[in-house]
Amino acid sequence: GSLVGQVPYGVLTFGSYEIYKEALLKRLPNVKPAFVYALSAILGDVTGSGWLCPSEVLKQKLQAGMYSNTGEALRDIWSKGGIGGFYEGYIGGLARDIPFRVAQLTSYEVTKNFYLRMKARKMKANASSTKERNAISADQLDLSAGDAALCGAIAGSFSAAITSPLDRIKTLLMTDSAAYGGSVASCVGKIWREEGIRGFGAGLVPRVVYIAPSVAIFFIAYEQVQQKLMLRHMQSTRTQATE
């Protein structure tokens, strides 16, 4: 059930992110790239959530024992709420996922670009001729698996840390909603009164330790797939040009 929801969600989110990013960078050449990355991440997550939310609603209702099989669940949800029945909690899911996705992808792109610029600068410094130096450009360099792991770990640590307060609020409302007033505002107020600013950072270290390695592994695969697709596209373009 999780794979049926998460795999298409990942493909839709990150695939559409790349499409949005490429289109927006062309349409908004004078806008800072970080803003384009953030906007593309929002649009990508909204696109992916179009699949994720229905699959999560279905999964949760089946896990709660409300239905005996998937077919029964689909029919009953549709009969009671139509298409809207599959999007219960959609806004809440976006509010939870979008901040993390924006932090994750924006920090990764910024870190990646900085790393490639430093890599290009080092290669130019070691180049044996002016012609060789002029041929080196950060835009033409790729990340190795190790490079992608490093950039991914930095992005994962940053995004996990910056969204830790949101995760704490979400967890408290899910596990003990009544004690925290049942709303985000009341939960924030209670944490502030009882724990102060430190209360919003509770669980930060375990969250970073858990998320950073998984994000690093993800971006290793992400970069490898991108590079192979780009190579295949370039080979196809050359073949068409020679025909």
Secondary structure class of 95 (helix, strand, coil): helix
State pLDDT tens for residues 150-168. 999 999 999 999 988 888 8
- Please report the pLDDT score of residue 242 as a whole number: 66
Give the other-Cβ count within 10 Å of 105's Cβ: 24
Token code pair at residue 176: 């003990």
Tokens 């695939």 appear where? 15
Has residue 85 got a pLDDT over 60? yes
From the number of C-beta atoms within 10 Å of its C-beta (0-12, 13-18, 19+), residue 104 rates as: buried
State pLDDT tens for residues 169-220. 877 876 677 888 888 889 899 999 999 999 988 889 999 999 999 999 999 9
Between residues 106 and 227, the one the model is more confident about: 106
Secondary structure class of 224 (helix, strand, coil): helix
**What percent of the chain is predicted at pLDDT more than 90?**
42
Model pTM score: 0.79
Residue 62 to residues 102, 182, 213, Cα–Cα distance (Å):
31, 25, 31
